[in-house]
Amino acid sequence: MNEPGAPAAAQSQDAAKSQNPAQRQDPAKSQGAVETSDAVNVTSLSNGVRVVSDRMPGLASAALGVWVGAGARHERAEQNGVAHFLEHMAFKGTSRRSAQDIAEEIEDVGGELNAYTSRDTTAYYARVLADDADCALDILADILRDPLFDPDDVDLERGVILQEIGQCLDTPDDIVFDWAQEAAFPDQPMGRAILGPPENVSGFDAAALSGFMAERYGPDQLVVGAAGAVDHDALVRFAEARFGDLSPVASAAPSPARYAGGERREIKDLEQAHMILGLPAPGLDDDDVFAAQVHATVLGGGMSSRLFQEAREKRGLCYSIFAQSSHYAETGLLTIYGGCGGSSVAALMEVCATELLAVRDAPGQAELDRAKAQLRAGVLMALESPSSRAERAARNLLSYGRVRPLEEVLDNLAAVSLDDLRAYADRALTGAKPTVTLYGPVADAPAYPLFCERFAP
C-alpha cells in the first residue's frame, strides 16, 4: 500500500537523455539549510529546487528521478491531456540525443528509464547501478531541460497516445475509474481524464507542450530525488549544475476540487458488469486521513476484508472486488470496484451498501487490528525498495513540504481506534451523494435515487 498522500498514478512507459553538463558550482553558495531524518537528507537550492536522498547501505543500485508538482489537475480545459503528452515527448529526443540514443545509453549500462503522469504529479525516473548514477542523472536533466519537440515526433507520438486512449476505452475496468472520477468531480480539473480527450490530443503541438512546461515546471515545483547507493552531496552538485539556473515561474494555484457525486451508467453487451461506488474522502492534511485508509482496508483491502468475504467467498457474486482511498491536497475519493455478471450487479451493490453501513454501525476490534497490521506491513515492505523510497521522499516534499518521519506515519496509523473508524465511516456517509459508475450488462442495477436511499439518515 502507498502511504496516505500517494494516490495511484496512471503510468505510461517511455525512455530519454541529456545535454552537456553545465559548469560545476559550489552548492554551498546557493543552497539553504539541510534537514536530516534517519538516512533522509533534504537540501533546498536558492531558486527553490529541492534535493532529497535516502541512502540505503548495502545496495549496489540507485533509484533516481525528478518529480514535478504538475499533473492533470493543473491543466486548463483546453490543455487537458498535455501533461501526459509532455511526459511522452520527453523520451523522443533532445538536441544531443535521439530517442534511440536515449534508449541505448540507459540500456548500455543495464538501467531502466520510465515516467508517469498522475493528477498532481509528473515523474521521470531511472534505476541503475551506483557507478552509473551520473549517466542516469545526465539523461534525466537533458530530457527536462532540452526536449526537442520535433513536429514529426509530436505527430508520431500523438498517434501513440491516441492508441493508448483507445486501449483504455476498450478496457472496461480502466475506463470506469475515469468515469467515476468525472462523476465525483464534475466540470473541474480533478474530474478530467489524465490522458485527455482525443480532440485535445489531436490538436497539441510543440507550442502547447513548451507552453505548459514554461507555466508549470518552475524550480519550486521540482524535486530531485534518489534512494539506494547514493551520495547526497553529489546529488546536490548535480542539481545545482543542471537546475540551479532555473528562474521562478508564477504558476496559478489549481482550482480547489469539490466532491459532488452522481451517476454514469452505460449499458453495453459485455461479458461482465463493471461497478464503482465512490464516496468523498479527506485531503492530505485532514486528521482523518489514516482512519480513511483503515476504513478502505476493512471494506476491501484483502482476502479477509468484508467485501471479499461476503461478495466473493460467501455469495460467489464476483471474481474481483476491492476498495481503495486516494488523497489529494484538499479532498479525496473512496472507491469500491467490483466486476460481476449482469444478473448479479444489483446484489453486489446491495452487499456494498450493507457493508458500508455495517462498518459505520458495528466495526470489530479484530478487523481493525488486522487492517492496521496490513497497512503497517505495506509501509515497511515498501521501504525495502529504493524506487519506493525515492518516490515516497519526493512526493512527501511536494505534498507536505517535508519528508514525514516513518515513526510519525506508523504512530498515526497505530492510533486509529474503533471510535475513530466508526466516526470516519459515519462522516463518509453523511450528507454526501454516492458516486455510482456502471458499465456493461447493467440494466438490472437499481436506479440511482433508490440506491441513494440506502444511506439516508
Distance of CA 389 to the CA centre of its chain: 15
Place of cell 454501525: 361
* Sheet with 112-117: strands ordered across: 10-12, 112-117, 122-129, 61-68, 222-228, 50-55, 40-45, 31-37
How far apart are alpha carbons 224 and 130 in whole angstroms? 16
What the block records as the C-alpha cell of 183 is 462523476
How far apart are alpha carbons 127 and 15 in whole angstroms? 12
Between strands 332-340 and 435-440, the pairing is unpaired
What the block records as the C-alpha cell of 225 is 530525488
Phi-psi region of 262 (alpha: psi -120 to 50; beta: other; left: phi over 0): left
Q: Are 437 and 279 in contact (CB under 8 A)?
A: no
Alpha helices in 170-266 (DSSP H): 172-184, 198-203, 206-216, 232-243
* Sheet with 262-267: strands ordered across: 262-267, 435-440, 273-281, 332-340, 318-327
408 is a catalytic site residue:
no
* Concatenated DSSP letters of 115-140: EEE-SS-EEEEEEEEGGGHHHHHHHH
* Concatenated DSSP letters of 361-426: H---HHHHHHHHHHHHHHHHHHTT-HHHHHHHHHHHHHHHSS---HHHHHHHHHT--HHHHHHHHH
Catalytic residue among 87, 157, 182, 215: 87
Give the residue numbers marked as catalytic. 87
